[in-house]
């Protein structure tokens, strides 16, 4: 623990000493192989929920039970039928890459067994369309949406049986798409999934237990989050090992795992808050990142969770350790941490009580626009560098939330992107091994927290429009011009090259 606190002090000292020099920058300031992209996920964007052999995922079941106020992803923005239009927009915007996930229940409807030929055709077509436009496909295998069939059969992630089924699903993807997909991510945000779905029960499969969580009919908040974490890690390691042993040498791709990263900083400089900040990193990041880097859970997690935390065998530890070529990072907001050691006095605890901290957000995390503060993202990247040995990192999600509106003047999103892209550049200049940045999201999609009431997209889609037309927001124009070489100056303003004569509101294909 003392070594971890030492690394945390290094992070905080580097942040305190940082010179935020990237108020003015252009794409040319980034390494030549740095990747800029945008992303979505299957349930949130595809639609066609009951077409061409797809079966329900846990998200279909959850949404149709009324948990999203009647909103569902049945149609969403219909990328299943409009993928060619969307890929053309990506190319016009200037994206290097598109991050998307595969729907397990579209590709293998029963969770195991026969592959759905129409699902296979769709993903082949999407990948071919991306490649033909010079856009790299970055594929996530699991984004919160395993088949309901596996949930019904054995409880999904609470059963070790899912390791075998997930590995078989992953092999279908590697075998069928790996000749063109060079960047694979096994799991999206497993560190958040296990809390929101198995401790708080806010998201499917809606498992929790009193006095924790939100109106769940089944589950155990004290033990299931740790059990699920263990099975997620074993599944990731199994799929990554399969890829590395059987496919990587031929396909020449990379495989990694994604985590959600809060920009965690102490509320005060007290020893108690400093120790609390390290516990926050251990539980909310290290629960997933420590095993894949070091082969075991953080000591503070093992101590506070006790027998509720599964133990890796020596073989499992060796399989999990080093099971990645890169780490994916989703970052949105900074959070301050205050010590709350009193929570450990309660005999009946969930994972959040085990952390013995209080998390303080700047604003309402569920409703407000996110504060524009580059310190949080820098804190996460600096922590990766200092504590995890500076692995290759792709920022898979970063974006500003707004209430959904037809207004295309999303100035706060432009300022948010300008500040965070600038902070990434600062981190790279300070030695961070960050390799790419993806905005969330390319389109206004069905949001897992908020449905259609909130949005993150570069492109507005009116879900009441039968044609579901895509409309570029100011942020789409801004990002496009940045990607095409324009200089960013203070407050997100684009300074155009003197040889060009267009404004931020010109069409995206302006020469």
Domains and CATH numbers, the chain: 26-260+393-484 (3.20.20.80)
What are 438's two structure tokens?
A: 């993806």
Closest among 218, 46, 216, 56 to 148, alpha carbons compared: 56
Handedness of CA 185, 237, 285, 189 (dihedral sign): positive
pLDDT score for 247: 98
- Residue 200 tokens, joined: 């708080």
Q: What's the CA gap between 47 and 43, in Å, rounded?
A: 7
369 given a catalytic annotation: no
Catalytic residue among 151, 316, 382, 397: 397
Catalytic residue list contains 189: yes
Instruction: Classify the C-alpha dihedral 473-475-478-480 as positive or negative.
Output: negative
Catalytic residue of the set 129, 189, 316, 382: 189
Those residues with Cβ within 8 angstroms of residue 220's Cβ, 6 or more apart along the chain or in another chain: 207, 209
Rg of the chain over Cα atoms, rounded to whole angstroms, equals: 22
List per-residue pLDDT tens for the chain, 511 residues long: 555 655 555 555 555 555 444 578 999 999 999 999 999 999 999 999 999 999 999 999 999 999 999 999 999 999 999 999 999 999 999 999 999 999 999 999 999 999 999 999 999 999 999 999 999 999 999 999 999 999 999 999 999 999 999 999 999 999 999 999 999 999 999 999 999 999 999 999 999 999 998 889 999 999 999 999 999 999 999 999 999 999 999 999 999 999 999 899 999 999 999 999 999 999 999 999 999 999 999 999 999 999 999 999 999 999 999 999 999 999 999 999 999 998 988 888 999 999 999 999 876 656 678 998 888 999 999 999 999 999 999 999 999 999 999 999 999 999 999 999 999 999 999 999 999 999 999 999 999 999 999 999 999 999 999 999 999 999 999 999 999 999 887 665 665 444 333 344 444 443 3
Q: Quote the CA–CA distance of 311 and 336 in Å, as a whole number.
A: 31
Q: Are 279 and 353 in contact (CB under 8 A)?
A: no
Q: Where are the alpha helices (DSSP H) in 40-160?
A: 42-45, 58-62, 79-93, 104-107, 117-132, 148-154
Q: Residue 230's closest CA among 141, 112, 145, 313?
A: 313
- Of 256, 274, 399, 278, the closest CA to residue 330 belongs to 399
């Amino acid at each position: 623990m003392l070594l971890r606190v030492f690394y945390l002090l290094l992070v905080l000292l580097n942040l305190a000493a940082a010179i935020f020099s990237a108020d003015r920058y252009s794409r040319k300031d980034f390494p030549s192989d740095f990747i800029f992209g945008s992303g979505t996920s299957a349930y949130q964007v595809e639609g066609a929920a009951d077409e061409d052999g797809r079966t329900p995922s846990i998200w279909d079941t959850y949404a149709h039970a009324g948990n999203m106020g009647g909103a569902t992803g049945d149609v969403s923005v219909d990328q299943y039928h409009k993928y060619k239009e969307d890929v053309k927009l990506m190319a016009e915007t200037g994206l290097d890459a598109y991050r998307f996930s595969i729907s397990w229940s579209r590709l293998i409807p029963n969770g195991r067994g026969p592959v759905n030929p129409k699902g296979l055709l769709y993903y082949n077509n999407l990948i071919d369309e991306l490649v033909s436009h010079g856009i790299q496909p970055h594929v996530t295998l699991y984004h919160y949406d395993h088949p309901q069939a596996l949930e019904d059969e054995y409880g999904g992630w609470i059963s070790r049986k899912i390791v075998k089924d997930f590995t078989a699903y992953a092999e279908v993807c590697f075998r069928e798409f790996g000749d063109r997909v060079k960047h694979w991510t096994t799991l999206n945000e497993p560190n958040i999934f296990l809390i929101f779905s198995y401790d708080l029960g806010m998201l499917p499969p809606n498992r929790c237990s009193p006095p924790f969580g939100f109106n769940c009919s089944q589950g155990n908040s004290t033990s299931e989050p740790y059990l699920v974490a263990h099975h997620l890690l074993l599944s990731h390691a199994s799929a990554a090992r399969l890829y590395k042993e059987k496919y990587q040498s031929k396909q020449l791709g990379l495989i990694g795992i994604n985590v959600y990263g809060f920009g965690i900083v102490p509320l005060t400089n007290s020893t108690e808050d400093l120790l609390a900040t390290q516990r926050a990193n251990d539980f909310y990041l290290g629960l997933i990142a420590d095993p894949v880097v070091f082969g075991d859970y953080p000591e503070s997690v093992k101590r506070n969770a006790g027998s509720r935390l599964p133990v890796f065998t020596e073989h499992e530890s060796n399989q999990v350790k080093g099971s990645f070529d890169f780490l994916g990072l989703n970052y949105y907001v900074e959070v301050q941490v205050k010590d709350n050691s009193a929570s450990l006095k309660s005999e009946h605890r969930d994972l959040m009580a085990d952390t013995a901290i209080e998390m303080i957000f700047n604003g309402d995390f569920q409703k407000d626009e996110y504060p524009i503060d580059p310190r949080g993202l820098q804190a996460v990247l600096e922590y990766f560098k200092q504590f995890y040995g500076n692995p290759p990192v792709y920022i898979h999600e970063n974006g500003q939330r707004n209430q959904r509106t037809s207004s295309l003047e999303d100035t706060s999103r432009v300022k948010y992107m300008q500040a965070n892209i600038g902070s990434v550049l600062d981190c790279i200049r300070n030695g961070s091994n960050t390799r790419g940045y993806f905005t969330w999201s390319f389109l206004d999609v069905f949001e897992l927290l908020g449905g259609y009431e909130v949005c993150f997209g570069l492109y507005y889609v009116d879900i009441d429009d039968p044609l579901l037309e895509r409309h570029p927001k100011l942020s789409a124009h801004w990002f496009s011009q940045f990607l095409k070489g324009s200089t960013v100056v203070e407050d997100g303003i684009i300074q155009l090259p003197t040889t060009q004569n267009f404004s931020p509101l010109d069409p995206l294909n302006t020469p």
